[in-house]
Structure 1
Amino acid sequence: MKKSIRFTAAFFCVMLSLLCFIQPVEALEAPEVEGVRAAILYNVENEKIIYALNENETVYPASSVKLMTAVVAYRALKDRLGETVTVTKEMLKGVTGYRIGLAEGEETTVESLFYAMLLRGSNDSANVLAHLASGSTAAFLEEMNRYAKELGMENTLYLNTGGLHEEQMVTTVSDTLKIALEFAKEEKLLEMSSVTKYIFPATNLAKQFTLYNRNYLVSRFQETKYYYEYAKGMNYGSTEESGSTCTSVASNGGLTYVCVVIGGEEDVATNTDFALRTASDLLRYGIEGFGYADVIDTEKPVCEMPVTLSANVDHVMLYPGRGLSVYLPSDVDVATDITVSRRLSFDSLAAPVTKGTVVGYLNVYYGDAQIGSVELITGDDVERNGFLYTLEVIKEYSRSRFFRATAISAVVLTVLYVFVSAAVRRRQARRSRRYRF
């Protein structure tokens, strides 16, 4: 019976080293990316780049500059969002490109300026925010570049607040990802850049008007084919030299992805903006193509370990100490792509054994990469037999150096005693013969 149990346990051990207890889910192929200069898709929770195209190639940043403008300005002005400010001539100096038409002497709120910059890419709003945050455009640009260095954006240089083309102003999508992650941490910025429209309040110089979000991943006002239900905020824009840029975030099922696309082309014939299309496709790929898989089942025994000093059992089953859920592509076949190996700390255990005792580790691999490790623990308590324990103590004592030294000493003393006793008897015998004569 015991041989049968051991055979069954050994069978489980082999099978569980090959299988990880779940069925693979349907795979999602990576999208075909075309018509963009550079792109990157990043999973926040696992800090992994899921897709990258020319991620370290320098490109013109265009409207992605406004991510840095927004973060630096917001952290300086977040307690003043409801404050009414007055636009000055200096704030509007040198502003070109898209504007909402702010005028000298116009009064509006800080919050409205953020909405105008984030939803429509308003360059005059960006410049006003820069002045409010740092006192001047020059001081604000200095802060933008200082913070870029702090974030490790080594290939980025900012020369204006809105992203208008300047030959020396460059970045990379891997650098832009770093500021996009900071933007995503600011819930208010993400909230503002996610709305489909904003009614800009009337000012002392202008009537109210409506701003529509031009990031069509989150808005369906003018275009619906790029819309993605799990997408949130950030920004979109373009320049002739850079092409279009799109940065967005998508969250679902406890997973968050940030996507940056720069250098998008436009196909007029098909009315396709490749930056928007690529961002939408990559975010879908992240959400639908990856997830967590349970690769360790705590209810399944892994193998057995011999146990001594017990009269009831001669082994104890080992189990994973906890389950393990791993972030993997959805096309991974766990039965064939995931392998498990065990490392035991002991060859055997001596009773008593307490359930839950850690006796080794179970390592999990995807290809050649280790993706997790859990403890191997004993599955039951095992009582010690007193008689077997006593015999073991005697056996161990008999193997000890002290016992051996004592035994050797006893033998030596016994031999000496025999020799001495014999010598004494011989001497006494000679004396007895002498006295007889």
Structure 2
Amino acid sequence: MRKTMLLRLLAVLVFVNTFSFLPSHAIARPPDITAPSGILIDAATGDVLYEKNAHEKMYPASTTKIMTAILVLENTNLQDTVIIDKDTPFTDGSRIYALEDEIFTVEQLLYALLVQSANDAAVALAKHVSGSVEAFAALMNQRARELGAKNTNFVNPNGLPNEAHISSAYDLAMIAKHGMTIPAFREIVGTVRYEIPPTNKQEETRYLRSSNRFLWGTGGRNQINYRGKWTNIKYDIVDGIKTGYTIQAQQCLVASAVQGEHRLISVILKAQSTNVYLDSRTLIDYGFENFQFKKIIGSHEPIEAVSIKGGIEKKVNLVTADAFYKAIPKGDSIEDLTKDIVLREDLSAPIEKGEILGRMIYKSGDLVLGEVDLIAEETVAKKEGIYAAFPSAQTSRRPIAYIIALPLLLFLLWRSFVTFRRSRRRKNRLLYSKKNHRKSRGNDLTDVNLYYHDKKH
């Protein structure tokens, strides 16, 4: 009896001590998802708000096409034309049944890629950018690493099964985060229906519909049991991005959702059936319901002026490249916010407007919250030519014509003054000479008169 009482007392003490150290505004318990891997990030900062096996290597299926689309948008023009070669029509899986020698625009193939999830469109675009699927895959891997991917290896542009073709929930979130900064990408992944008109090889219009049921799924089979209630899959705050499915990968979905001015990105990999939408919505709602997105600093806000070498200006103004937000639990605040400015070492002219010259790192105590790039507010030309000849031009904001004209005007005024003085001197000498001449003639007449006067007497 005494032993039982002692165990109960110990349990009470453990309970009290455990919860007495929780923060005053503790966030809700992280949700459970059915899929083996998933992540939720803040699209503005990349902050991870939830993760489950987020770095585990998984098959990405057609979510691969997010990376393909980014590279196409970064390396081509939408109205470029693409001629289908003899091999592309035989691509497996979902496709638009492109024909040999058929002509499309890059824009049409991008819609086919991201709306219809067409594998043949992916191959055609890859060859258009890099000449071959292999070369394009190398470019995909390089760009993925640049965007923060850690466990990704792409071997094709569409996600068709291959044991070496892998990624992770975290990597796909980082790639999608960048994709959603590209206006054309946002437009395409949020499109429900698209039409490709007749081409030189196809007389019929191709009608495409998005595979992402978050954008259109209502009624019938398009419902999920969410929080104990049957509801449509369609979710108005979701504005894209991309689904994926193969037998090996099962159901995959990268989704973007926006409330107010803020965006979250979720990734679910290897889910079963419509659970991919259930898990995605669970993470999205968890993020918006439990986190606030505090604006630390706005876009293009002035920071300070820094010295530069060899420019027609001695200093350049630094401004923030983008706004910086931080996701924190609702009700909490960021205390003791500090910032450190780290400048680029080679701050010398020429400098272009918008060029990254450094970064500002935000901290709360010892915790690094994030950073924002600092860019040049204006262009600063290199001091050379006439500017090098006139050092005072280095700090002048007047045009170079003014800098040339001012000393020229001063020179002309000085020459005019010298000419005027010389003219006055010549005139004075002439007057003096005439006066002396008259005086000399007067003296001669006086001498003659005196001579005649003497002779008379």
TM-score bracket, shorter-length normalisation: 0.5 to 0.7
Matched, 1:226 2:230: no
Instruction: Name the CA distance, whole Å, in 2 between partners of 1:371 and 1:143.
Output: 31
Instruction: Name the CA distance, whole Å, in 1 between partners of 2:236 and 2:185.
Output: 19
Aligned partner of 1:9 in structure 2 is: none
Q: Which amino acid aligns with 1:179?
A: I
Instruction: Name the CA distance, whole Å, in 1 between partners of 2:140 and 2:335.
Output: 48
Alpha carbons 1:197, 1:212 under 8 Å: kept: yes
Instruction: Name the CA distance, whole Å, in 1 between partners of 2:128 and 2:326.
Output: 46
Of structures 1 and 2, the one with the larger relative CO (CA 8 A, separation 6+) is: 1
Q: Which amino acid aligns with 1:328?
A: I
Instruction: Name the CA distance, whole Å, in 1 between partners of 2:253 and 2:119.
Output: 17
Aligned partner of 1:181 in structure 2 is: 177
Alpha carbons 1:201, 1:208 under 8 Å: kept: yes
* Deviations 1:124-166, CA, capped at 9 Å, x for gaps: 0000011111111121111112222333423111111110111
After superposition, the Cα gap between the structure-2 partners of 1:40 and 1:340, relative to the gap in structure 1 and judged at 3 Å, is: closer
Aligned partner of 2:92 in structure 1 is: 96
Aligned partner of 1:166 in structure 2 is: 162
Alpha carbons 1:59, 1:172 under 8 Å: kept: yes
After superposition, the Cα gap between the structure-2 partners of 1:200 and 1:328, relative to the gap in structure 1 and judged at 3 Å, is: same
Shift of 1:172: 1.2
Q: Counterparts of 1:8-407 in structure 2 under 5 Å?
A: 30-34=30-34, 36-77=35-76, 79=77, 81-92=78-89, 95-206=91-202, 207-220=204-217, 223=222, 225-266=232-273, 273-292=274-293, 327-330=327-330, 332=331
* Deviations 1:17-58, CA, capped at 9 Å, x for gaps: xxxxxx98x976643311x12111001334311010101111
Q: TM-score, normalised by structure 2?
A: 0.56
Shift of 1:284: 2.1
Instruction: Name the CA distance, whole Å, in 1 between partners of 2:159 and 2:69.
Output: 12
User: What is the root-mean-square deviation of aligned Cα atoms in Å?
Assistant: 3.1
SS of equivalent to 2:283: helix
More displaced stretch, 144-153 vs 56-65: 144-153
Instruction: Name the CA distance, whole Å, in 1 between partners of 2:174 and 2:198.
Output: 36
Alpha carbons 2:83, 2:102 under 8 Å: kept: yes
Alpha carbons 1:194, 1:232 under 8 Å: kept: yes
Q: Which amino acid aligns with 2:41?
A: Y
* Deviations 1:155-182, CA, capped at 9 Å, x for gaps: 1111111101111211111111221112
After superposition, the Cα gap between the structure-2 partners of 1:226 and 1:171, relative to the gap in structure 1 and judged at 3 Å, is: same
Alpha carbons 1:227, 1:280 under 8 Å: kept: no
Alpha carbons 2:89, 2:97 under 8 Å: kept: no
Instruction: Name the CA distance, whole Å, in 2 between partners of 1:85 and 1:220.
Output: 33
After superposition, the Cα gap between the structure-2 partners of 1:204 and 1:51, relative to the gap in structure 1 and judged at 3 Å, is: same
* Deviations 1:354-387, CA, capped at 9 Å, x for gaps: xxxxxxxxx989xx97989xxxxxxxxxxxxxxx
Alignment: residue pair count: 283
Instruction: Name the CA distance, whole Å, in 2 between partners of 1:63 and 1:326.
Output: 31
* Deviations 1:66-99, CA, capped at 9 Å, x for gaps: 111111112111x2x1234321114445x21111
After superposition, the Cα gap between the structure-2 partners of 1:158 and 1:371, relative to the gap in structure 1 and judged at 3 Å, is: closer
More displaced stretch, 233-242 vs 282-291: 282-291
Instruction: Name the CA distance, whole Å, in 2 between partners of 1:195 and 1:171.
Output: 25
SS of equivalent to 2:115: helix
After superposition, the Cα gap between the structure-2 partners of 1:120 and 1:28, relative to the gap in structure 1 and judged at 3 Å, is: farther
After superposition, the Cα gap between the structure-2 partners of 1:168 and 1:218, relative to the gap in structure 1 and judged at 3 Å, is: same
After superposition, the Cα gap between the structure-2 partners of 1:28 and 1:120, relative to the gap in structure 1 and judged at 3 Å, is: farther
After superposition, the Cα gap between the structure-2 partners of 1:239 and 1:205, relative to the gap in structure 1 and judged at 3 Å, is: same
Alpha carbons 1:91, 1:131 under 8 Å: kept: no
After superposition, the Cα gap between the structure-2 partners of 1:283 and 1:104, relative to the gap in structure 1 and judged at 3 Å, is: same
After superposition, the Cα gap between the structure-2 partners of 1:160 and 1:46, relative to the gap in structure 1 and judged at 3 Å, is: closer
Shift of 1:117: 0.8
Shift of 1:327: 4.2
Alpha carbons 1:43, 1:49 under 8 Å: kept: yes
Instruction: Name the CA distance, whole Å, in 2 between partners of 1:136 and 1:339.
Output: 50
Unaligned 5+ segments in structure 1 are 1-22, 267-272, 295-324, 343-362, 373-437
Instruction: Name the CA distance, whole Å, in 2 between partners of 1:328 and 1:162.
Output: 36
Instruction: Name the CA distance, whole Å, in 2 between partners of 1:173 and 1:148.
Output: 13
Alpha carbons 1:264, 1:275 under 8 Å: kept: yes
Shift of 1:261: 1.2
Q: Which amino acid aligns with 1:244?
A: Q
After superposition, the Cα gap between the structure-2 partners of 1:75 and 1:292, relative to the gap in structure 1 and judged at 3 Å, is: closer
Alpha carbons 2:42, 2:264 under 8 Å: kept: yes
Instruction: Name the CA distance, whole Å, in 2 between partners of 1:176 and 1:70.
Output: 13
Alpha carbons 1:61, 1:262 under 8 Å: kept: yes
* Deviations 1:317-342, CA, capped at 9 Å, x for gaps: xxxxxxxx974323x4x6xxx79799
After superposition, the Cα gap between the structure-2 partners of 1:371 and 1:126, relative to the gap in structure 1 and judged at 3 Å, is: closer
Q: Which amino acid aligns with 2:60?
A: P
Instruction: Name the CA distance, whole Å, in 2 between partners of 1:339 and 1:152.
Output: 26
Alpha carbons 2:194, 2:209 under 8 Å: kept: yes
SS of equivalent to 2:40: strand
Unaligned 5+ segments in structure 2 are 1-23, 224-231, 296-324, 338-362, 371-457
After superposition, the Cα gap between the structure-2 partners of 1:128 and 1:46, relative to the gap in structure 1 and judged at 3 Å, is: closer
Instruction: Name the CA distance, whole Å, in 2 between partners of 1:193 and 1:181.
Output: 13
